[in-house]
Amino acid sequence: MGTVTLGVSIAVPEPYGSFLQRKREGFGDPAAHGIPTHITLLPPTEVRADALPAVERHLAEVAAAFRPFPLRLEGTDTFRPLSPVVFVKVAEGVAGCAALQARVRAASGPCARELQFPYHPHVTVAHGIAEEAMDRAHAELKDFSATWTIGGFALYEQGVDAVWRLQREYPFGTQPAGVPRQADLTRPPAPAS
């Protein structure tokens, strides 16, 4: 049995997600078309295909233990010169994202892995492109802001074409009344009648 490359992330809802993805494409990032706009919880991780059921059970258990929490994106920053990345900052919800990713990557679970850098939740808007384009991304999105309530996360698999595809969504445990599931947040609102 072969391996698959998985990632776990929080989708950035519409209209923000497609707006940031179009901006990333416009900055010249060649990977932008294949990466849905997200906050990473588990970076690309290769696992045996036969381990997928255990991964899915683990993620369902993690999601069931969490409750919705507010998240706010605001402004830009960069990891340069350490890493060629410009990102939109997570201004509210950092502790929730950190706790969630720690549970996803727990040493006792099937998604255990060490990180190359300390966990820092963010939304990448430019990666590995010309310095001038990185500077433009940093400047053009400095006033960007978005707020929503996170209701869960999702499992993605990277195809041989380098495109990340949604495999399954994991809604959090008990949802307060009126808080949409993560899946509902990622769909455009229905037109008014």
Largest Cα separation within the chain, whole Å, is: 50
pLDDT, the chain, mean: 89
Give CATH for domain 3-174. 3.90.1140.10
Mean pLDDT in residue range 83-97: 96
Residues 6+ apart with CB under 8 A from 107: none
Q: At what angle do helices 131-140 and 16-26 cross, to 10 degrees?
A: 150
Q: Do 47 and 4 meet the contact criterion of CB atoms below 8 Å apart? A: yes
Q: Cα(78)–Cα(99) distance, rounded to whole angstroms?
A: 23
pLDDT-derived band at 49, boundaries 50, 70, 90: very high
What are the C-alpha distances in Å from 184 to residues 70, 138, 148?
16, 30, 12
Domain locations in the chain as residue ranges? 3-174
Task: Tell me how far apart the alpha carbons of residues 100 and 118 are, in angstroms, rounded to a whole number.
Answer: 14
pLDDT at 23 over 90: yes
Give 61's contacts (C-beta < 8 A, 6+ positions apart). Answer: none
Tell me the three state secondary structure of residue 93.
coil
- Amino acid identity of 101? Q
Taking only the tens place, the pLDDT of each residue in 141-174 is 999 999 999 999 999 999 999 999 999 999 999 6
